């Protein structure tokens, strides 16, 4: 059965789900929700996600919001050999840990700046940029221990942290001298065909949009 993914290409968390659909060969109908026209606030969308945010996944009678929950569900259902979401309980716990890090640090550092900027026209304070640098430090530490965030192969935690983490780069440029492991990981992730296809175009549009607001 074809699942439905409600998304917008500028959304990093939606792009993480788009990449996962491709990597897991999920037959997905991609449905654009134009957040700039307020389609995410329409009653029929708010019924699907009371938090009025993309992405949302529909699989039959299941309606799921939050990209991390979606990634876990898709991988649980479609990652038959456990390559993106290990079957081993301990390895999986490490993936979950980094997924929670991705939402609470990587995505939040972005949202802390872009939310007030987009919705209230509020310019970020210096401490918001410092918090991004601190998060780069945490990522560098993790990637000094293993090649990918939760081990030596790529998992859904990398996909999640990459889609939001690469966007942090247009707020605080990633210094490859200071963060060599993170820089190498980011380069590997960027070069994957799935990133070129499903992340790069939306990322560029998002970068232009945010930079224009910062410069205004
Ligand atoms: N934790 C959520 C965050 C979702 C989210 O904040 N999506 C943004 C786009 S990046 C959105 O649709 N915002 C519209 C709004 O909050 O009204 C996830 O991972 O899916």
Instruction: Quickly tell me which residue has 């605080």 as its tokens.
Output: 172
User: What's the pTM?
Assistant: 0.97
Give pLDDT tens digits for 6-64: 999 999 999 999 999 999 999 999 999 999 899 999 999 999 999 999 999 999 999 99
- Say if residue 1's pLDDT is above 90: no
Co-location of 118 and 174 in the same domain: yes
Q: Are residues 112 and 198 in the same domain?
A: yes
The structure tokens 């990209």 sit at 67
Distance, CA of 129 to CA of 175 (rounded, Å): 14
Structural domains counted in the chain: 2
Q: Does residue 84 fall inside a structural domain?
A: no
Q: What is the dihedral of CA 134, 19, 76, 82, to 10 degrees?
A: -80
- Report residue 122: phi and psi, to 5°: -90, 125
Integer CA distances (angstroms), 116 to 95, 110, 129, in order: 30, 11, 14
Are 65 and 130 in a shared domain? no
Q: Whose CA is nearest to atom 13 of ligand 1?
A: 53
- What is the extent of the structural domain holding 73? 3-78
DSSP string, 117-181: HHHH-PPPPHHHHHHHHHHHHHHHHHHHHSSBTTBSS--HHHHHHHHHHHHHTTTS---TTT-HH
- Best residue among 54, 99, 167, 203 to mutate for probing ligand 1's pocket (most ligand atoms within 8 Å of CB) is 54
Name the average pLDDT for the chain: 97
Q: Are 161 and 16 a contacting pair, CB within 8 Å?
A: no
CA–CA separation, 51 and 53 (whole Å): 6
Question: How far, in Å, is the centroid of ligand 1 from the Cα of 81?
Answer: 30
Distance in Å, CA 143 to ligand 1 centroid: 27
Ligand 1 site: residues with CB under 6 angstroms?
Answer: 11-13, 35, 40, 52-55, 66-68, 103
Residue 91: pLDDT over 80: yes
**8 Å CB contact between 203 and 12:** yes
């Amino acid at each position: 059965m074809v699942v439905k993914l409600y998304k917008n290409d500028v959304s990093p968390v939606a792009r993480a789900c788009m990449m996962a659909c491709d990597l897991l060969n999920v037959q997905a109908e991609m449905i654009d929700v134009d957040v700039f026209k307020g389609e995410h606030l329409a009653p029929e969308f708010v019924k699907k996600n009371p938090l009025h945010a993309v992405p949302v996944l529909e699989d039959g009678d299941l309606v799921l919001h939050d990209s991390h929950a979606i990634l876990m569900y898709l991988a649980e259902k479609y990652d038959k050999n456990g390559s993106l979401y290990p079957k081993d309980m301990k390895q999986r716990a490490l993936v979950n840990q980094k997924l929670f890090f991705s939402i609470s640090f990587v995505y939040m550092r972005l949202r802390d700046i872009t939310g007030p900027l987009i919705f209230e026209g509020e310019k970020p304070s210096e401490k918001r940029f410092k918090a991004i640098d601190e998060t780069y430090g945490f990522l560098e530490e993790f990637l000094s221990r293993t090649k990918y965030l939760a081990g030596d192969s790529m998992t859904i935690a990398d996909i999640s942290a990459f889609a939001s983490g690469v966007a942090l780069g247009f707020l605080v440029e990633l210094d490859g001298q200071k963060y060599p492991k993170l820089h190498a990981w980011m380069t590997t992730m960027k070069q994957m065909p799935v990133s070129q296809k499903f992340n790069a175009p939306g990322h560029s549009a998002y970068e232009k949009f945010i930079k224009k607001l910062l410069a205004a």
